[in-house]
C-alpha cells in the first residue's frame, strides 16, 4: 500500500495538467459486474483549483525516453519516477470506483522503453478491468504517438474514448519543443481512429457537423460482457451474511458486441508556450474537427514548470484568460455554426481578452443588428450575444404560441443585459438611443465586471449538467424537431437537466396543435 501511495502521488502529479476530464457522451449499461457510464457525465469532486474531478486521471508511468521541452516528465528532468503494474492500477481503479470517488479512468502515460512496450502494458491494465473485474465504467485512454495499429485497435475496443495530443498548434512548434514526436506519429493513429469510427458508423458529435454525416447512435446497445446469471452468490437471504463476493469471473473471448471508442476521439493542445496567434489556434481546431471529426479539442494554458530558453520564463502567469476565450471560441465553432474565419480574421488575429468572442464578432458586424426576435431564424438568433442554444430554441417555440414580449426574454433564459443592444422585440429597441459599438462595448464591460470573471471556466463547460449530450434520443429528437441539426441538439442540453430537455422538445413537436380539455380532466 505504501508503494501504491508513493506511485499514486508521483503519477497523479504528472497527469494533472491534462485538461480533459469529460466523461460525457456515452451511456453504458451495467452488463458486467460493476460500473456504468452516464451520458450526462458526473463530477465527483472539485479540486482546490476549481476543476471537476470525475476520473482517476493518472499516468501509467512517468519514466520517459522522450525529452519534450514543456513536460515535467521529460527524460532530462530531475523528478521521482514510477510505473504502475497493470494489476495494481486496475485494482486501484476498481476500489476507487466502488467507493464512488470516481466515474472512471483517464489513463495517460509517458513513453517507457518504446511506444509499443508502454501501450501494451496499458492494454493489459484495461483488459484486466474490463474482463477480470467486469468493469463497465468509463475509460479514456491517451494514445502514445507512434503506437502500432494493432495495439491501438485493441485499446480502442477496451476504451470509451481515445485521444492523441496534438500538443502544439503548428508543426514548427512541435519540431522545436517535442523533437521526438513526429507529426506523422500523431496523425497516423488519429486517422486510424477516425477511419475505424467511420467504418463502424460510430461517428457522432460536433466533429460530424462539417460533412453532414449521418449520426448513428451506438450508445444504447453497448456492452463488453454478455449478461451473466451467476453474478452473485446469494447467502441465506439476509443482506449482511452473504458469503463470498465473486469479483473476478474470467470469460476469455466473450465480450459481446465490441465497440471501438464509443465516446469518440479528442485531442489537446498547449496554449501560450509558443507564439501562435489565436486565429492560428482556432483554425487548427477547426481543421481537427473537419478532418478527424474530433469530439472535442481541449486547450491547456501553459504553466511554466521548467527553465528553457525556448519557453516563457518560470514566473510567467499561465494565460488562463486566453484559454477561457479560446474555449468560448471553440463553443462558437461547435454549436453556433461560426467558422474560424468569422471568429478571427487577419486583421484581428487575437481574441479580445475582455470580451466574449460572440460580442466581439457582433460588434465587428454591427450592421447585421438589431435582430427582431420574433422574426429571426434559429441561425440568426444563435448569433445574438446573450442568446444561447436553449433560449434560441425556446424563442422559436414560444413565438408560435404568441409574440414574445421583451419581459419574457429573461424568463426564457436570455441574458437580457447583454442581448438588449442587439435585438428588437416587437419592433422596439431597448438598448438605448443608438447602436454604437464603442458604447456597447463599454457598457458590456462595465455591467459585467468581466475582468473579475476571468477565472478558468474550461471545466465549467465540461461539467456534466452543462455538457452536450449525445445520446440516442439526442439525434432522434433533433430529426423530429426538423430545424435543429444534430449538433445543435447536443448543445440544447447545456445548462438544463436531461429530463426537462426531453420534455421541452416533446412538447415542441406538439406545440402548434391546440389541445382541448373539456370538462373534468380525469
Residue of 324, 330, 338, 319 lying closest to 276 (CA atoms): 319
Q: Which does 110 bind (CB under 5 to 8 A by kind): another protein, ligand SF4, none?
A: ligand SF4
Query: Residue 453 touches which of ligand SF4, another protein, none (CB < 5 to 8 A by kind)?
Result: none
Under the binding rule (CB under 6 A), the answer on residue 66 touching ligand SF4 is: yes
Our CB check for another protein shows the closer of 138 and 331 to be 138
Tell me: does residue 10 bind ligand SF4 (CB under 6 A).
no
Residue 185 gets which letter from DSSP?
H
Residue 95 interacts with another protein (CB under 8 A): yes or no: yes
328 touches another protein (CB under 8 A): no
Reduce the secondary structure of 134-167 to three states and give it as a string. CECCEEEEECCCCCCHHHHHHHHHHCCEEECCCE
CB of 28 to another protein, least distance (A): 10
Residue 267, beta-bridge partner list: 297
Residues with Cβ < 8 Å from 500, sequence gap 6 or more? none
Pattern 375-404, binding to another protein, x per CB under 8 A?
A: -------------------x--xx--x---
How far apart are CB 66 and ligand SF4 at their closest, in Å?
A: 4
- Encode 47-79: b = buried (16+ Cβ within 10 Å), e = exposed: eeeebbbbbbbbbbbbbbebebbbbbbbeeeee
- Among positions 7, 74, 161, 295, the unique one binding ligand SF4 when judged by CB under 6 A: 74
276 three-class SS? coil
Binds ligand SF4 (CB under 6 A): choice among 68, 125, 344, 409: 68
Among 19, 52, 64, 168, binds ligand SF4 (CB under 6 A): 64
CA–CA separation, 336 and 338 (whole Å): 6
Judged by beta carbon distances under 5 to 8 A according to partner kind, the member of another protein, ligand SF4, none in contact with residue 159 is none
What is the rounded CA–CA span in Å between residue 375 and residue 391?
15
CB-count burial class (<10 Å; 0-12, 13-18, 19+) for 116: middle
The nearest distance, CB 252 to another protein, in angstroms, is 19
Is residue 71 part of the contact set for ligand SF4 (CB under 6 A)? yes
E-strand ranges in 151-277 read 161-163, 265-271
Picked from another protein, ligand SF4, none, the partner binding residue 247 (CB below 5 to 8 A depending on kind) is: another protein
Q: Is 186 in the site for ligand SF4 (CB under 6 A)?
A: no
Instruction: Give the residue from 436, 433, 399, 430 showing the smallest Cα distance to 417.
Output: 430
Residue 481 contacts ligand SF4 per CB under 6 A: no
**Of ligand SF4, another protein, none, which one does residue 74 interact with (CB within 5 to 8 Å by kind)?**
ligand SF4
Could you tell me which of 14, 470, 12, 1 has the C-alpha nearest to residue 207?
470
Q: How far apart are CA 26 and CA 39, in angstroms?
A: 5
Query: Taking CB under 8 A as the criterion, which residues in 460-499 touch another protein?
Result: 463-465, 497, 499
List all residues 6 or more positions away from 178 whose beta carbon is below 8 Å from its beta carbon. Answer: 66, 68, 69, 70, 167, 168
Question: Of 3, 76, 100, 433, which lies in the binding site for another protein, with binding defined by CB under 8 A?
Answer: 100
The angle formed by the CA atoms of residues 113, 118 and 120, to the nearest 5 degrees, is: 130
**Residues 275, 280, 281, 286: what is their CA dihedral angle, to the nearest 10 degrees?**
-170
Among 22, 24, 25, 42, which residue interacts with another protein (rule: CB under 8 A)? 42
Q: With both helix axes pointing from N to C terminus, report the angle between 183-199 and 278-292 in degrees, rounded to the nearest 10.
A: 40
Q: What x/- string results for residues 156 through 185 when contact with ligand SF4 is judged by CB under 6 A?
A: ----------------------x-------
Smallest distance, ligand SF4 to C-beta of residue 18, A: 10
Would you give the distance in Å from CA 495 to the centre of its chain?
15
Query: How do 296-301 and 371-372 pair as beta strands?
Result: unpaired
Among 171, 250, 254, 411, binds another protein (CB under 8 A): 411
- Does the protein bind ligand SF4 through residue 267 (CB under 6 A)? no
Instruction: Decide if residue 111 touches ligand SF4 (CB under 6 A).
Output: yes
133-152: which residues touch another protein (CB under 8 A)?
Answer: 134, 137
The C-alpha cell at 70 is 514543456
Choose among another protein, ligand SF4, none what residue 511 binds, the Cβ cut-off being 5 to 8 Å by kind.
another protein
371 binds, among ligand SF4, another protein, none (CB under 5 to 8 A by kind): none
The site string for another protein over 170-209 (x = CB under 8 A, - otherwise) reads ----------------------------------------
Does 503 contact another protein by CB under 8 A?
yes
Rounded Cα distance between 414 and 141, Å, is 38
- Whole-angstrom distance, CA of residue 428 vs CA of residue 370: 10
Judged by CB under 6 A, the stretch of 62-70, 262-270, 282-290, 506-514 that binds ligand SF4 is 62-70
Of 110 and 197, which has the nearer Cβ to ligand SF4? 110
User: Can you read off the three cell numbers belonging to residue 234?
Assistant: 446469494
Residues that bind ligand SF4 (CB under 6 A): 64, 66, 68, 71, 73-74, 110-111, 178
Amino acid at each position: 500500500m505504501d508503494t501504491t501511495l508513493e506511485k499514486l502521488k508521483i503519477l497523479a502529479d504528472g497527469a494533472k495538467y491534462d485538461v480533459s476530464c469529460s466523461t460525457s457522451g456515452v451511456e453504458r449499461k451495467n452488463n458486467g459486474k460493476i460500473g456504468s457510464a452516464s451520458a450526462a457525465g458526473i463530477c465527483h469532486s472539485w479540486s482546490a483549483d476549481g476543476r471537476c474531478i470525475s476520473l482517476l486521471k493518472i499516468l501509467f508511468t512517468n519514466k520517459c525516453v522522450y525529452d519534450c521541452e514543456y513536460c515535467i516528465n521529460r527524460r532530462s528532468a530531475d523528478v521521482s519516477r514510477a510505473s504502475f503494474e497493470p494489476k495494481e492500477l486496475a485494482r486501484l481503479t476498481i476500489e476507487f470506483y466502488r467507493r464512488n470517488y470516481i466515474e472512471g479512468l483517464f489513463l495517460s502515460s509517458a513513453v517507457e522503453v518504446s511506444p509499443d512496450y508502454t501501450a501494451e502494458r496499458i492494454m493489459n491494465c484495461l483488459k484486466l478491468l474490463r474482463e477480470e473485474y467486469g468493469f463497465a465504467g468509463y475509460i479514456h485512454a491517451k494514445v502514445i504517438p507512434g503506437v502500432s495499429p494493432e495495439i491501438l485497435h485493441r485499446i480502442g475496443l477496451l476504451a470509451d474514448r481515445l485521444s492523441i495530443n496534438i500538443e502544439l498548434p503548428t508543426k514548427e512548434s512541435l519540431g522545436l519543443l517535442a523533437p521526438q514526436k513526429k507529426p506523422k506519429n500523431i496523425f497516423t493513429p488519429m486517422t486510424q481512429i477516425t477511419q475505424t469510427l467511420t467504418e463502424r458508423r460510430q461517428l457522432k458529435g460536433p466533429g460530424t457537423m462539417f460533412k453532414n454525416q449521418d449520426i448513428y447512435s451506438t450508445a444504447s446497445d453497448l456492452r463488453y460482457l454478455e449478461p451473466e446469471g451467476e453474478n452473485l452468490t446469494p447467502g441465506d437471504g439476509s443482506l449482511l451474511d452473504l458469503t463470498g463476493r465473486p469479483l473476478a469471473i474470467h470469460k476469455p473471448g466473450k465480450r459481446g458486441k465490441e465497440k471501438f471508442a464509443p465516446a469518440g476521439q479528442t485531442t489537446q493542445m498547449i496554449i501560450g508556450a509558443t507564439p501562435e496567434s489565436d486565429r492560428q489556434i482556432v483554425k487548427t481546431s477547426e481543421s481537427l474537427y473537419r478532418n478527424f471529426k474530433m469530439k472535442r479539442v481541449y486547450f491547456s494554458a501553459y504553466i511554466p514548470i521548467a527553465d528553457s530558453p525556448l519557453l516563457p520564463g518560470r514566473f510567467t502567469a499561465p494565460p488562463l484568460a486566453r484559454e477561457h476565450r479560446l474555449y468560448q471560441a471553440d463553443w462558437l465553432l461547435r454549436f453556433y455554426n461560426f467558422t474560424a474565419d468569422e471568429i478571427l480574421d487577419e486583421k484581428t488575429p487575437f481574441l479580445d481578452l475582455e470580451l466574449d468572442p460572440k460580442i466581439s464578432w457582433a460588434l465587428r458586424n454591427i450592421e447585421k443588428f438589431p435582430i427582431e426576435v420574433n422574426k429571426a431564424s434559429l441561425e440568426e438568433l444563435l448569433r445574438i450575444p446573450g442568446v444561447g442554444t436553449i433560449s434560441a430554441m425556446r424563442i422559436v417555440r414560444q413565438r408560435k404560441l404568441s409574440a414574445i414580449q421583451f419581459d419574457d426574454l429573461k424568463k426564457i433564459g436570455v441574458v437580457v443585459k447583454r442581448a438588449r443592444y442587439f435585438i428588437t422585440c416587437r419592433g422596439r429597441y431597448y438598448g438605448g438611443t443608438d447602436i454604437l459599438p464603442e458604447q456597447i462595448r463599454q457598457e458590456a464591460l462595465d455591467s459585467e465586471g468581466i475582468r473579475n470573471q476571468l477565472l478558468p471556466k474550461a471545466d465549467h463547460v465540461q461539467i456534466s449538467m452543462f455538457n452536450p449530450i449525445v445520446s440516442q434520443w439526442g439525434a432522434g429528437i433533433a430529426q423530429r424537431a426538423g430545424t435543429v441539426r444534430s449538433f445543435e441538439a447536443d448543445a440544447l442540453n447545456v445548462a438544463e437537466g436531461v429530463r426537462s430537455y426531453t420534455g421541452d422538445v416533446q412538447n415542441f413537436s406538439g406545440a402548434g396543435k391546440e389541445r382541448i380539455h373539456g370538462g373534468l380532466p380525469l
